[in-house]
Chains A and B, each alone.
Chain A
Amino acid sequence: MSNKLLKIQDLELSFKMYEGISYVLKKINLELSRGEKVALVGESGSGKSVTTKLILGLLNQKNVTKKGKIIFNNKDILNLSQNEFKKIRGNNISIIFQDPIAALNPVFKVKDQFYEVNLNGGNISKKDSFLKACEALEKVSIRDPERVLESYPFQLSGGLAQRVVITMAMINKPELLLADEPSTALDVTIQNQALDLMNELTKETNTAVLLITHNMGVVRKFAEKVYVIYRGVIVEEGTKNQLFNNPGHPYTKALLESIPKLSGDGLPLHNENPPDYASIEKYTHKND
């Protein structure tokens, strides 16, 4: 028995497209222990969101080929049936999707969507569900939670929708929280609160968090361990300090050099064609 909550082994994914086969993930290896806070960072289009979709069993189209293992609680879940996945989703594993508006159902009020989620956590009346949701929304600085609950998704600002989705994902205290760009629509003050809440959750219920973000400041604030993905390959893994102080892979270095500076020295410039970093060897920091 291993004490790892999630263990992704040699995961591969490809799509059969009109133009040919598109290899999206090539041997992804990634581990999370209970209560651990791990960040997954990398290029746009490198395969972060599809990785979370595989963990949740959401990629089942005919043109999908997947290989490898996703071991959750000592059980390979990569090829579970949809019924088995339903039990895991919303109970053991929950997700904050990258696009909050698209993640909500446009034809139901927020309160009704909360009710669905709250039912997953056990029997509850509509009234209690409403109160529970109010309380949770207040924790992310929503001043008028009743109004937000009575709204349809299109009536919410980007950041309000994002806070609704964050709250829904945390309310049943999952074992694993997949947070895909959870704070892009939040101002920095509320962003910090959201990170604090996730942090509390890891302490209180030993929830593990896989945080996907493009914001390296957020990584520095939140994560213990970091994986860097580039074109479907994990090119570097290490503790937060190793990564920021001693990046090994050229892509990680380029990433750190490209962060816009608060001192306002202008944006970094880049040449047109990025080198094929992925073919360069992988960097794993082992307690250095």
Chain B
Amino acid sequence: MIKIKNISKKFFIKNNEVQALNKINLLIEEKDCFAVVGESGSGKTTLANIILGIYQQDEGDISFFEKQLFKKRNLEERKLIQYVQQNPMSTLNPKKTIFSTISLPLKIHKIVKKDEIEERVKKLLSYVGLNPEFMVRYPDTLSGGQKQRVAIARALAAEPKVLILDEPTSALDVIVQSKVLNLLLKIKKEFDLTYIFITHDLSVVRNIANKVVVMNKGEIEESGETKEVFLHPKSQYTRDLIKAIPTVTDKEDAVKPK
């Protein structure tokens, strides 16, 4: 469904060059829950930004259902791939109420009739476990996890086919996290969605992703079926990463590769 071919991206800061991505190849299939994990600064968010047409790659191609995607996107292409950004605290517009933040994609993509907008916003909020009363609030009166859930609701509002989730549950306690993840899985099944799930939480990956790619220094360390990668990691980097996962019981530690 999404084919990423030979993508590279460099940034320049003063006299320094940052090779954020170096010849990345990936195939994401329909209905995948595709996890992207790895080193901090290894290019995960950059990859998301390129898939979304926010950044232009230096080289390589992306295709979506066999059709090449360019940086400039039409409305339909923008609707189909939605994004929940890392750091929702700084990505929600501080001058807009939660209602206007979530209703914007409903209006742009004409998802529901005008007189149904309020109903839909309420529904989306309760989907992510937020009281519909939050509609009238501004972002700076919400906690970290509440903002994160608003960002998820906003992305779902557009009724996308692909959802790129960049650390979507990092500010949620494990109870709310598992509620939100269960909900995301339910919606995924109901509407045949595809998820690209970027996270540092490897235990979450183990439980929800069917495939995983491990990135390191702008390159792919390894990729494959999640279970296989966790039980039999091929690269030393992946092995070290799995070993470093903080666990809560000794029993959990025993599951790690030797």
Contacts and interface: CB of A to CB of B under 8 A. Distances in A.
Indicate the size class of the contact surface on chain A: 35 or more
B120 interface: no
B247 A217 contact: yes
A181 to B, nearest CB: 6
A133 B30 CA distance: 46
Contact of B206 (A43, A157, A162, A262): A262
A157 B145 contact: no
- Which of B11, B39, B174, B182 has most chain A Cβ within 10 Å? B174
Interface in B197-213: 200-204, 206-208
B235 interface: no
A260 interface: yes
Interface stretch (A69-77, A81-89, A251-259): A251-259
Contact of A44 (B44, B173, B201, B248): B173
A283 interface: no
Interface string A239-255: 00000100000000011
Interface stretch (A28-36, A113-121, A184-192): A184-192
B118 to A, nearest CB: 16
Interface string A24-66: 0000000000000000011111001100000000000000000
Contact of B174 (A187, A220, A259, A274): A259
Given A147-B18, A181-B144, A188-B241, A102 B87 contact: yes
A267 B40 contact: no
B108 interface: no
Interface residues of B, number: 61
B200 A267 contact: no
B170 A184 contact: yes
B15 to A, nearest CB: 8
Interface in A172-220: 181, 184-192, 214-218, 220
- Which of B18, B145, B177, B182 has most chain A Cβ within 10 Å? B145
B144 A157 contact: no
Interface string A255-276: 1101111111111111000100
Given A98-B144, A150-B13, A155-B11, A259 B45 contact: no
Given A19-B133, A158-B87, A270 B175 contact: yes
B40 A147 contact: no
Contacts of A155: 11, 13
- Which of A42, A48, A215, A254 has most chain B Cβ within 10 Å? A215
A281 to B, nearest CB: 20
A274 B207 CA distance: 23
Given A45-B145, A155-B11, A261-B207, A191 B174 contact: no
A185 B40 contact: yes
B207 A270 contact: no
A151 interface: yes
A288 interface: no
A162 B87 CA distance: 11
Given A147-B16, A157-B45, A15 B141 contact: yes
A160 interface: yes
B224 interface: no
Interface string B169-190: 0111111111101100100000
A42 B173 contact: yes
B40 A101 contact: no
A218 B246 contact: yes
B157 interface: no
Contacts of B226: 264
B41 interface: yes
A270 B178 contact: yes
Contacts of A184: 167, 170-171, 200
A259 B207 contact: no
Interface in B214-258: 226-227, 230, 240-241, 244-249, 252, 255-256
Given A184-B171, A261-B206, 15 more contacts: A43-B173, A44-B173, A144-B16, A157-B44, A158-B87, A159-B40, A163-B40, A185-B170, A186-B200, A189-B39, A220-B247, A244-B248, A259-B248, A260-B207, A262-B203
15 contacts: A19-B133, A44-B146, A98-B89, A99-B90, A102-B87, A151-B13, A184-B171, A188-B241, A192-B244, A220-B246, A256-B248, A262-B206, A262-B245, A262-B252, A263-B255
Interface of A: 15, 17-19, 41-45, 48-49, 98-102, 144, 146-147, 150-151, 155, 157-160, 162-163, 181, 184-192, 214-218, 220-221, 244, 254-256, 258-270, 274
